[in-house]
Amino acid sequence: MLFGIILFAAIAVLVIAELLVPQGSLPRPDQWGKLTRQAFERNRRYTELLRIIAKHRLFTIKLGPGSTRSASQHDAEALALKQALEEAGGAFVKLGQLLSTRPDILPPVFVEALGSLQQQVPPAPWAQIEPVLEQALGVHPREAFAEFTETPFASASIGQVHDAVLRSGERVAVKVRRPGIVPLVERDIDIAERLARSLARSSDWAERFGIEQLVDSLTSSLRDELDYTQEAANIAALTEVQTQIPAEARVRIPHYFPECSSDQVLVMEHITGTTISSASISSLSIETRTGLARRLLAATFAQIMEAGVFHSDLHPGNIVVDAEHHLVLLDFGSIGRIDSDTRNRLGDVLFAFSRRDAGAFTDGLLSFVDLSDIEDETTLRRKIASFMARRLGPGTRLDATMFGEVVAILSDFGLRVPAELTVPFRTIATVEGSLRALDPGFEFIEEAGSYAHARVRDAAQPSSIAQAFSNELLSALPIVKRLPSRIDRVTGNLAEGRLGMNVRIFADSRDRGFMRELIDLGVFTFLAGIFGIMAAMLLTSNTGPQLTETLTLFQIFGYLFLVVAGILTLRALFEVLRRRPGRSR
């Protein structure tokens, strides 16, 4: 009898433990020390961030749909967010800078405020940089370079840049990653991802907006910036792109020196000139600046629409005009890539945009999203058409808020804009500001229309049609080669009476997940009811071995069953409350 009680108690403990802490959710004992230290550092950082959030009153900021903030309130909130990110430092400054390139996410006033984010980080001392360089180069910097300036001429949160001269006599810029920056950035990335998951679980708007996907995208870009081999690969990719696009759309890409570069050090050509964000750019003639603006726009469209590989952060500080009036691009930490099908659909959107064709623009835009769950597609199309009429009428101009409005319209209908659309549109909206810096009177819509019409004319040329037909034929060739064997197999099965058809009822992963949750909920509810009934029967029973004057063995079992029934009931209630109405799964 005692053995049975012990066995039952052990099983009950295992059941309760599995409900509260599922198997696999706890790490192995040999990892506890490391994870405890990480948790301590993370909690200390949480405390610091909470203090900063409270200090700048970020709890009151509201950016989601339905915000009724005035312009002055938004100005104050944008400034508070900028100051808070600067004070938080680390990865949060870089995340803020990346967010400043996302006019599809934030209102213009926030984009402008975050665009001026600067973290006052003093350069790392030479005693810390010297061993990093020596490890990366394999020799002491004095042996690798003819000249090397120990004091950096630029310093940021992730790295700093030193002036140097190669043994060949070429002047170069040596970018060095700060020692010990990777663990600190990874800690902040972990915190940002945890906060995104928490927001997605607690906020319908955050989940519908795709806050987790947004943070994943930003942190992925940030990790790329930590690895200078990725930036070197981006430089190589954009250099190759220049050979694939028309001569009138080419820009200069600085070359790098792979024999001197690594994941911690990037040695590249030293660029001299004037960034178009500088006030001295106005000293150039208006004809020169207009020509540069047209080349920059042509380069952007050619990279996106023809090559599918493009610089995704063309703000004025990343574009230099050299002494020969050539455009030189800088900062290759992040570039965009899109496939040929996406480029074709973007071309349709651009052509409709240039012709102010609301219907074609709507069709092209909606080809990027899933309309299967839309209940009122007519209203959605009407809203997009109204947007086109309002923002593309006579006298209007393109700015970074336009794409944000399109995203807001789609979000109101529960549609999530895919990255293959947001990245090129974000790039185009960003480069518009650079075009205005070069030529304040630059007519973006007219120039974009000229490019779109030229692209359509080129596509209608006999040589282009023949090339497109050849490409389609080559793509269909594997299908054509497999067709005879498949026809033979189908006709053979038909002749033998063995022709059948397989249908997957729950082919969609969302349907499978929904059914799985319903089954889990049903099991929890059923077990809770069974254990509850058994507990009631045992507690009201007067039979069984008497353990005390008022308590029998069956009643002890009844109390245990009651505890299990309560836990199962709470778990079922949690599942019900977690699936709030209107929450997408």
Residue numbers annotated as active site = 313
Find the farthest-apart pair of alpha carbons in the chain and give their distance in angstroms, rounded.
104
Residue 419 burial (CB count, 10 A): 15
- Alpha carbon distance 585, 583 (integer Å): 6
Q: Is 480 left (phi over 0), alpha (psi -120 to 50) or beta?
A: alpha
- Alpha-carbon distance of 321 to 328, in angstroms, equals 6
The single-letter DSSP state of residue 178 is P
Q: What's the rounded Cα separation, in Å, for the pair 506 and 511? A: 6
**Whole-angstrom Cα distance, residue 56 to residue 85?**
10
Looking at the chain, how many residues does it have? 585
SS (H, E, C) 459-490: HCCHHHHHHHHHHHHHHHHHHHHHHHHHHHHH
- Count CA atoms closer than 13 A to 253's CA, side-chain side: 23
Q: CA torsion angle for 66, 72, 76, 78 (degrees, to 10)?
A: 60
Extract the tokens encoding 559: 């109390």
Strands 154-155 and 159-166, bridge-based pairing: antiparallel
Tally Cβ neighbours within 10 Å of residue 548: 7
DSSP labels, 350-367: HHHHHHT-HHHHHHHHHT
Element (H, E) at 146: strand 145-148
> Is 107:69 a contact under the CB 8 Å cutoff?
no
Residues 6+ apart with CB under 8 A from 296: 251, 314, 319, 327, 431, 434, 435, 438
3-state secondary structure of 395: coil
Distances (CA, A) of 368 to 305, 357, 397, 407, 410: 16, 18, 25, 12, 11
* CA-closest candidate to residue 148, choices 239, 265, 40, 69: 265
What does the block give as tokens for 495?
A: 């002749």
Using an 8 Å Cβ cutoff, are 384 and 365 in contact?
yes
Using alpha carbons only, what angle is made at residue 359 by residues 355 and 360, rounded to the nearest 5 degrees?
A: 60
Please give the DSSP secondary-structure letter assigned to residue 534: H
Question: What distance in Å separates the CA atoms of residue 105 and residue 102, rounded to the nearest whole number?
Answer: 5
